[in-house]
Amino acid sequence: MTAGHFAENILGWYDQHGRHNLPWHHNRNAYRVWVSEIMLQQTQVATVIPYYQAFMERFPDVASLAEAPVDDVLSHWSGLGYYARARNLQKAARSVMEDFGGEFPDTQEQLETLIGIGRSTAAAIIAQTLNKRAAILDGNVKRVLARYHAVPGWPGQSSVLKQLWEHAEAHTPSDRVRDYTQGIMDLGATICTRSRPACNDCPLQRGCSAYARGETSLYPGSKPKKAKPEKTTWMVILEDNEGRILLERRPPSGIWGGLWSLPELDAAYGADELQEACEQNLGFDCGEPELISGFRHTFSHYHLHIQPARLGVIAQNSVRDDAQQKWLHRHEALALGLPAPIRTLLTNPEQVTLL
């Protein structure tokens, strides 16, 4: 199958079976497409849609996003994970306002100067908004191309990625680029899936090397596996006599960067040592701890075992409200940007073991 026939088959399939009514297809502009592309990184369309709609209602344009308090942005991102995306989204919005006069640049090279926008995301913005030829290579497209051309190896390896970019560039047509980019993403998401691809429904079946070999499960190659480290921590829900709880803002970089979370204590402390630990490390005289069922939360590179405990604060001798620590009632806390397991813990503690 030639490069031209590849694109024609994608477009024919897209016309009949593709997704034509996604929220970012309406009032399509660079800002709306950009936000959707960032949200769709590491996240499925069905999950993204309600977040996208709420985000657009609160931040309808780049100016409103650039000017918003960071806590507001993180609150609207809470639950999507990979929170650096949200922080970079706002930084890029501010760059658009300051460096480009509030107008998104219209070249791929300039778009790639914005933090959080790489080659594929920039190309998607160009293709989707301007209908100009630009090759994309997101996770779904990598899978389609790796199978079609039987490209061995994990796409995270530079040599493999280079081959996939060459194929992406070769197959991208000059006409109907907007539909083609959406079509190949849809094909990867709905037909050429990670497991059990629906090859009999695929418009590329006749030319697919992996299908011809009966080896679709081998492409793309898997990331070399490493055993994830296991870490453990106490998370304490400290309540004062007004029913408020203490939240701490996490450092801007790293896990849950910039979000509000619960104070943590070293897992080496025993349950009978929590009162003393709170006094020594956090500056509180507390009552007896009430233990809550522990749970495990998995990050990209380690597992974190969280053991929550609730303690009533009798006296406070060091911590006050400031930019990094706040005493808040639960409904106030839930309005902030919180990691998903912390939000669940504060809302419905008996459900945290399901995370």
- What CA–CA distance (Å, rounded) separates 129 from 28? 7
Nearest to 341 by CA among 295, 301, 302: 295
- The structure tokens listed for 13 are 């399939």
- In 3-state terms the chain splits into helix, strand, coil percentages (rounded to 5) of 50, 15, 40
Choosing from 8, 37, 215, 230, the catalytic residue is 37
Contacts of 35 (CB under 8 A, 6+ apart): 24, 52, 55, 56, 59, 89
- What CA–CA distance (Å, rounded) separates 51 from 88? 17
Measured at the alpha carbon of residue 290, what is the angle toward residues 340 and 323, in degrees to the nearest 5?
50
- Residue 98 is among the residues annotated as catalytic for this protein: no
- What CA–CA distance (Å, rounded) separates 279 from 344? 27
Contact assessment for residue 216 and residue 209, using Cβ atoms and an 8 Å cutoff: no
In what helix (H) or strand (E) does residue 53 lie, and over which residues does it extend? Answer: helix 45-58
Contacts of 94 (CB under 8 A, 6+ apart): 66
- What CA–CA distance (Å, rounded) separates 60 from 68? 11
Return the sign of the alpha-carbon dihedral for residues 269, 270, 273, 274. Answer: positive
What is the separation of C-alpha 135 from the centre of its chain, rounded to a whole number of angstroms? Answer: 22
Q: Which residues are catalytic?
A: 37
